[in-house]
């Protein structure tokens, strides 16, 4: 039998020989590709167009402000309309309550109308009575004035005989006392010519006053 020499396993414990790594070169290539050139940066800046974006932002902000202002106005208008509707509703409630309190039946209305008609009839009757009384007084006044005028035209000295105690016709009377049997009283009149002229009392007015005093 041939003897087999023992195998040296130390070689199995050694790491395999290193080979050149490809990952580092690949990373370097990616970095090189991601690096931007000046032309790329200029193109990117020109594509952004900041002025147009600012204008768009301003337009959006203006639209938002206008929308908010319009909504505030609409909200105020709606509140005003709601307030007006509440006031109208309150007035309608008060009116309906008042009408319910003042509600009357047909019989009550008929009774009220009858009372008003009777009152109007009484007023018309009183007016007619007052008009008749006024007409009568006016007629009486005309008769008194006519009588006074007739008295002024009558010469008393021609129709009466003077006694020895009578005042001389040439003397002027200054006072006159008129007595009323109905009232049982007497009224003193100043009939002096100067007094009558000073107070602008005509003979017709004086005669009217004398007649009234004698009634």
Nearest Cα to 188, choosing from 201, 198, 173, 175? 175
Mean pLDDT of the chain: 74
Measured in whole angstroms, the distance separating CA 19 from the mean position of its chain's CA atoms is: 106
Identify the residue whose tokens are 């041939």: 2
Same domain, 96 and 111: no
Same domain, 142 and 96: no
Query: What's the confidence (pLDDT) of residue 80?
Result: 92
Query: What's the confidence (pLDDT) of residue 78?
Result: 92
Q: How confident is the model at residue 171 (pLDDT cuts 50, 70, 90)?
A: low
- Quick check: is 16 in a domain? no
Is residue 168 pLDDT above 60, yes or no? no
Identify the residue whose tokens are 């009568």: 136
Contact between 204 and 170 (Cβ < 8 Å) = no
- Quick check: is 75 in a domain? yes
Query: What's the confidence (pLDDT) of residue 127?
Result: 92
Same domain, 151 and 181: no
- Quick check: is 1 in a domain? no
Q: How far is CA 2 from CA 5, 6, 127, 202, in A?
A: 10, 13, 175, 197
Same domain, 99 and 53: yes
Same domain, 138 and 90: no
Q: Where a domain ends, among 77, 103, 129?
A: 103
Structure-model confidence comparison of residues 5 and 144, the more confident one:
144
- Quick check: is 20 in a domain? no
Give the total number of structural domains in the chain.
3
The pTM (predicted TM-score) of the whole model is: 0.26
Q: Which of 22-31, 116-125, 205-214 has the lowest mean pLDDT?
A: 22-31
Same domain, 63 and 73: yes
Is residue 65 pLDDT above 80, yes or no? yes
Is residue 66 pLDDT above 80, yes or no? yes
What are the residue ranges of helices labelled H in 102-184? 106-153, 156-159
What are the residue ranges of helices labelled H in 4-49? 10-13, 23-34, 38-48
- Quick check: is 135 in a domain? yes
Give CA–CA dist 165/39, Å, rounded.
159
- Quick check: is 194 in a domain? yes
What is the domain range of residue 208? Answer: 174-215
Contact between 148 and 204 (Cβ < 8 Å) = yes
Same domain, 126 and 143: yes
- Quick check: is 32 in a domain? no
Q: How confident is the model at residue 20 (pLDDT cuts 50, 70, 90)?
A: very low
Contact between 211 and 180 (Cβ < 8 Å) = no
Q: How confident is the model at residue 1 (pLDDT cuts 50, 70, 90)?
A: very low
Give CA–CA dist 215/186, Å, rounded.
11
Q: How confident is the model at residue 155 (pLDDT cuts 50, 70, 90)?
A: low
Same domain, 65 and 117: no
Q: How confident is the model at residue 95 (pLDDT cuts 50, 70, 90)?
A: confident
Residues whose CB is less than 8 angstroms from the CB of residue 89 and which lie 6 or more positions away in sequence, other chains included: none
Same domain, 73 and 83: yes
């Amino acid at each position: 039998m041939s003897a087999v020499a023992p195998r040296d396993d130390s070689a199995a414990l050694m790491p395999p020989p290193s080979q050149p790594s490809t990952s580092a070169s690949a990373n370097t290539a990616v970095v090189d590709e991601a690096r931007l050139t000046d032309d790329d940066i200029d193109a990117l800046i020109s594509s952004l167009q900041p002025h147009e974006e600012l204008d768009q932002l301003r337009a959006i902000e203006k639209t938002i402000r206008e929308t908010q202002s319009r909504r505030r106005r609409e909200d105020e208008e709606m509140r005003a309309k709601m307030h007006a509707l509440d006031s109208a509703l309150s007035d309608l409630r008060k009116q309906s309550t008042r009408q319910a309190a003042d509600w009357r039946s047909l019989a009550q209305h008929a009774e009220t109308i009858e009372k008003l008609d009777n009152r109007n009839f009484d007023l018309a009757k009183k007016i007619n009575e007052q008009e008749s009384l006024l007409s009568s007084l006016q007629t009486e006044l005309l008769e008194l004035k006519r009588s006074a005028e007739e008295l002024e035209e009558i010469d008393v000295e021609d129709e009466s005989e003077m006694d020895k105690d009578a005042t001389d016709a040439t003397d002027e009377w200054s006072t006159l006392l008129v007595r009323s049997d109905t009232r049982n009283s007497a009224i003193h009149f100043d009939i002096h010519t100067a007094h009558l002229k000073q107070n602008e009392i005509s003979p017709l007015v004086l005669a009217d006053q004398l007649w009234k005093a004698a009634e």
